[in-house]
Amino acid sequence: MSRLGDLLLLERSRQKLTRKQVARKCGVSEGYLKDVEEGRRIIRDDEARRILRTLGAGSRNEAEYSLDEIAATVDLTTLAPQSPQKEEKPAAPAQAPAAPAPKPRSAEEQSGIWLDALSSVLQPVPVMNAGWIQVARRMLPIQDGKIEGAKPDRVVYFLAPDDSMRAMRIEKGDLVLVVPQNLPVDGAIMLVEYGAHRCLRRVKLLGDSRILLQSGDRDLDAEALHISEIKLVGRAVRVEIAL
Same domain assignment for residues 131 and 232: yes
The residue out of 61, 79, 97 marking a domain boundary is 79
Same domain assignment for residues 233 and 125: yes
The residue out of 22, 52, 79 marking a domain boundary is 79
From the list 155, 130, 129, 128, the residue with the least C-alpha distance to 140 is 155
Across the beta sheet with 221-226, what order do the strands follow? 134-141, 122-128, 156-159, 175-180, 231-240, 189-194, 197-207, 210-215, 221-226
Determine the structural domain holding residue 62 and report its residue range.
Answer: 3-79
Please give the chain's pLDDT, 243 residues, in tens: 456 677 777 777 888 888 888 888 888 898 888 888 787 877 777 777 788 788 776 544 444 434 544 444 344 443 444 444 555 555 555 565 666 666 666 655 555 555 555 556 888 899 999 999 999 988 888 888 899 889 989 999 999 999 999 988 899 999 999 999 999 999 999 999 988 788 999 999 998 889 999 998 878 889 899 999 999 999 999 999 877
The residue out of 79, 106, 136 marking a domain boundary is 79
56, part of any domain: yes
Give the predicted TM-score (pTM) of the model. Answer: 0.52
70, part of any domain: yes
Count of structural domains, the chain = 2
| Beta-carbon contacts of residue 109 (< 8 Å; ≥ 6 apart) | none
Q: How many CA atoms lie within 13 A of 18 on its CB side?
A: 8
